[in-house]
RNA sequence: GGCGCGAUGACGGAACGGUCACGUAGAGGUCUGCAAAACCUUUUAAGUGGGUUCGACUCCCACUCGUGCCUCCA
């Protein structure tokens, strides 16, 4: 059984081989916590959750880091503009620290709602400032850095293979029409490792710049000691306050927790040409070894056939789906119907279709409560189904194929006599579905109460006596309890009214 | 403008050089005391135009449209 992924690094589907037997180090670019994530953001985390689950299903011990970008992600990736966190703080009249705390908590609660496995390490960029400064120090020692009036920059021309990862055409970029206002940058692709707090500006999040990182350094402050912006800092000194560049954060956290080379790095396709290219440049310039062996990138989710953007007014949040009566797991099912590499198209009709499919699954799962024997003589839920599900997902997170396998197995079960179904293998199959696809089938399909069971038995007796009036009355009673009965030739099977 | 990605039925969405999954919705039917479910059937599905081939949805080229990055957003 082999795991295969479409690897951006090589440009084709590669068989997965981990660095250490039975262990996988995984880094996922996490959210910038300045606002609520929209459903497109969540789609990515669902894909990577499937990645974690399938690695675990293949008996890998997964060590995963997901960063929380709580400082330094500027409005523009060109190292211009304001910090998103500071923008959020102004918008809501709070400090950047409060903004980060609020949206981090919201993100984690969203993860739980979508049944996403929480990574072993959820790291905040602000808690890794010394590591980031140390990375700059090492880059400086190797002469990859230079200083401008507004920060410390990475000289991408010193990293020969800079353009390789994203197949960039740097000369075209250079001759492009883009003319920047502030270009003390030596090359258009150079990026900030550390930005100085602009003179006269008060930032909530800033740290002193270690003297040895400065070209004219004579400042003597503790590395990465957070400074209260309200304290009286002389203007000259405040110029040397600063904050990390967005790209640096990921490199520092990934390497300090997972080592110089990690197995898998994931992110959105938009991160390929800038963010991930820069991560590679920073990390590999320091270590001299490959930063990540496998890079997986998710495509974007469209809404109503077009991109998600605020100006189009089609930015939906998880809370919007819940308000319209959907369960977050319905959305998860919707995402699992497609492959991470393709654009999906979200509409409420499509979400309803996914919800209906999931409801049908739940009613099949409920059959387990209605089987008395553990040894149905026909193996309607064969062991092989579990294996087939895993193999489908092993093939580049092929969840659509896995769903098909479940559909086919479930339709056999739904068509079978209760007495013929093997309870143990049905439950085992449900467990596999839940562990690999995370759809919470078992948890969402509890048994019905004794009272309802009594009514079903009474109705069965009435039916045997062909007392249709009583039978129908009892069926109505069950409907009051949101239980639907379907009579087959052999059984009366209850379902949830979903 | 530069560098990419994509286009499959009503909708979502796979695989595959020859027989076109699966799901949701609609229609018809079988079954049924009724209902529901299940099962069966269902309108010549591949953006357009060429090419390669005995044969292309699948490979190649062009175009159109959509979309991504460079220029906020996974």
Work out the percent of chain A whose per-residue pLDDT is above 70: 89
For chain B, which bases have at least one atom within 7 A of a protein Cβ?
A: 1-6, 11-15, 21-25, 31-39, 66-74
Does the nearest atom of strand B lie within 7 Å of A179's Cβ? no
- Any idea how long chain A is? 498
Instruction: With H, G, I as helix, E, B as strand and everything else as coil, classify residue A285.
Output: helix
Query: Rounded CA gap, A360 and A495, in Å?
Result: 9
Does the nearest atom of strand B lie within 7 Å of A229's Cβ? no
Question: Are A72 and A83 spatial neighbours (Cβ–Cβ below 8 Å)?
Answer: yes
What pLDDT is attached to residue A235? Answer: 42
- Mean predicted confidence (pLDDT) in A307-329: 88
Q: What is the ipTM of this complex?
A: 0.89
Does the nearest atom of strand B lie within 7 Å of A46's Cβ? no
A177-181, A252-256, A419-423, A475-479, range with greatest mean pLDDT? A252-256
**pLDDT exceeds cutoff 50 at A177:** no
**pLDDT exceeds cutoff 60 at A350:** yes
Q: Which residue has the tokens 């390490």?
A: A121
pLDDT-based confidence at residue A221 (cuts at 50, 70, 90) = very low
A 370-389 residues, CB < 7 A, strand B: none
A60-64, A75-79, A412-416, A452-456, range with greatest mean pLDDT? A60-64
**pLDDT exceeds cutoff 90 at A237:** no
Does the nearest atom of strand B lie within 7 Å of A87's Cβ? no
Q: Using the CA of A412, which nucleotide's C1' is the nearest one?
A: B38
- Higher pLDDT residue, A249 or A227? A249
- CA distances for A284 relative to A276, A277, A378, angstroms: 12, 11, 57
pLDDT-based confidence at residue A381 (cuts at 50, 70, 90) = low
CA/C1' separation A309–B5 (Å)? 19
Sign of the CA dihedral with A10 first, then A15, A20, and A24 last: positive
Q: Using the CA of A392, which nucleotide's C1' is the nearest one?
A: B14
Query: Rounded CA gap, A471 and A29, in Å?
Result: 58
Query: Where do the H-state alpha helices sit in A58-95?
Result: 84-92
What pLDDT is attached to residue A12? Answer: 82
- Distance, CA of A1 to chain centre: 25
**pLDDT exceeds cutoff 70 at A75:** no
Query: Rounded CA gap, A488 and A498, in Å?
Result: 20
The DSSP bridge partners found for residue A296 are A266
pLDDT-based confidence at residue A180 (cuts at 50, 70, 90) = very low
pLDDT tens digits along A426-443: 898 999 999 999 999 999
Work out the percent of chain A whose per-residue pLDDT is above 90: 47
**pLDDT exceeds cutoff 70 at A419:** yes
Query: Rounded CA gap, A433 and A308, in Å?
Result: 31
**pLDDT exceeds cutoff 60 at A461:** yes
What pLDDT is attached to residue A222? Answer: 43
Question: Are A123 and A200 spatial neighbours (Cβ–Cβ below 8 Å)?
Answer: no
Helix, strand, coil percentages for chain A (3-state, nearest 5): 45, 15, 35
- CA distances for A15 relative to A22, A396, A439, angstroms: 15, 9, 27
What pLDDT is attached to residue A77? Answer: 56
Does the nearest atom of strand B lie within 7 Å of A172's Cβ? yes
A 319-338 residues, CB < 7 A, strand B: 334, 337-338
The CA-CA-CA angle for residues A253, A259, A264, to 5°, reads 80
Q: Name A369's Cβ contacts closer than 8 Å, sequence gap at least 6.
A: A445, A447, A448
Q: Please provide the average confidence, as pLDDT, over all residues in chain A.
A: 85
A2-6, A254-258, A494-498, range with greatest mean pLDDT? A254-258
The pTM of this model reads: 0.91
Does the nearest atom of strand B lie within 7 Å of A142's Cβ? no
Q: Taking Cα atoms as reference points, which of A122, A107, A108, A113 lies closest to residue A37?
A: A107
What pLDDT is attached to residue A205? Answer: 87
Question: Are A221 and A208 spatial neighbours (Cβ–Cβ below 8 Å)?
Answer: yes
What pLDDT is attached to residue A113? Answer: 96
Does the nearest atom of strand B lie within 7 Å of A309's Cβ? yes
Structure tokens at A254: 């990934």
A 244-273 residues, CB < 7 A, strand B: 267-271, 273
pLDDT-based confidence at residue A382 (cuts at 50, 70, 90) = low
CA/C1' separation A300–B65 (Å)? 18
Question: Are A336 and A382 spatial neighbours (Cβ–Cβ below 8 Å)?
Answer: no
CA/C1' separation A269–B10 (Å)? 31
Does the nearest atom of strand B lie within 7 Å of A497's Cβ? no
- Mean predicted confidence (pLDDT) in A9-26: 91
Query: Rounded CA gap, A495 and A498, in Å?
Result: 9
What pLDDT is attached to residue A228? Answer: 46
A 271-300 residues, CB < 7 A, strand B: 271, 273-274, 298-300
What pLDDT is attached to residue A171? Answer: 66
- Mean predicted confidence (pLDDT) in A350-376: 86
Instruction: With H, G, I as helix, E, B as strand and everything else as coil, classify residue A485.
Output: strand
- Mean predicted confidence (pLDDT) in A364-371: 90
Instruction: For residue A116, count CB atoms less than 10 angstroms from its CB and return exposed for 0-12, middle for 13-18, buried for 19 or more.
Output: buried
pLDDT-based confidence at residue A81 (cuts at 50, 70, 90) = low
The CA-CA-CA angle for residues A400, A14, A119, to 5°, reads 65
């Amino acid at each position: 059984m082999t795991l295969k992924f479409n690897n951006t690094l090589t440009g084709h589907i590669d068989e997965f081989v981990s660095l250490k037997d039975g262990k996988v180090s995984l880094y996922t670019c996490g959210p910038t916590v300045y606002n609520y994530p929209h459903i497109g953001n969540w789609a990515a985390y669902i894909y990577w959750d499937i990645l974690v689950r399938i690695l675990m299903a293949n008996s890998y011990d997964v060590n995963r880091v997901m960063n929380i970008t709580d400082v330094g992600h500027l409005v523009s990736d060109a190292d211009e503009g304001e910090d998103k966190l500071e923008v959020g703080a102004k918008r809501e009249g709070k400090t950047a620290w409060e903004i980060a705390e609020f949206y981090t908590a919201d993100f984690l609660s969203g993860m739980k709602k979508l049944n996403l496995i929480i990574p072993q390490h959820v790291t905040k960029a602000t808690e890794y400032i010394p590591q980031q400064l140390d990375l700059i120090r090492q880059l400086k020692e190797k002469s990859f850095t230079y200083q401008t009036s507004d920060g410390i920059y990475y000289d991408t021309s010193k990293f020969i293979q800079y353009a390789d990862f994203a197949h960039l055409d740097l000369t075209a970029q250079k001759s492009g029409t883009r003319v920047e206002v502030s270009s003390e940058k030596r090359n258009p692709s150079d990026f900030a490792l550390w930005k100085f707090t602009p003179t006269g500006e008060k930032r909530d999040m800033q740290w002193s710049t270690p003297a040895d990182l400065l070209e004219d350094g004579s400042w003597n402050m503790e590395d990465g000691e957070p400074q209260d912006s309200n304290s009286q800092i002389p203007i000259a000194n405040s110029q040397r306050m600063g904050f990390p560049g967005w790209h640096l954060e990921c490199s520092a956290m990934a390497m300090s927790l997972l080592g110089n080379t990690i197995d898998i790095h994931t992110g959105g396709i938009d991160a390929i040409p800038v963010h991930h290219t820069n991560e590679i440049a920073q990390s590999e310039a320091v270590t001299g070894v490959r930063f990540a062996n496998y890079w997986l990138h998710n495509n974007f989710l469209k809404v109503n056939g077009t991109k998600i953007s605020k100006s189009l007014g089609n930015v939906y949040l998880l809370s919007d789906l819940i308000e319209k009566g959907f369960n977050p797991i319905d959305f998860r099912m919707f995402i699992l119907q497609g492959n991470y590499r393709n654009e999906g198209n979200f509409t409420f009709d499509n979400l309803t279709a996914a919800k209906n499919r999931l409801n049908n699954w739940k009613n099949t799962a409920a059959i387990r409560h209605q089987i008395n024997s553990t040894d149905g003589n026909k193996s309607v839920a064969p062991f092989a189904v579990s294996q087939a599900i895993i193999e489908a997902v092993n093939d580049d997170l092929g969840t659509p194929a896995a769903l098909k396998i479940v559909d086919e197995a479930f339709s056999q079960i739904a068509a079978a006599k209760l007495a013929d179904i093997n309870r143990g293998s049905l439950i085992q199959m449900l467990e596999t579905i839940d562990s690999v696809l995370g759809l919470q089938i078992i948890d969402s399909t509890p048994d019905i109460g004794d009272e309802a069971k009594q009514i079903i038995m009474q109705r069965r007796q009435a039916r045997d006596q062909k007392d249709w009036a009583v039978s129908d009355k009892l069926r109505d009673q069950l409907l009051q309890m949101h239980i639907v009965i379907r009579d087959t030739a052999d059984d009366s099977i209850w379902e949830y009214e979903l």
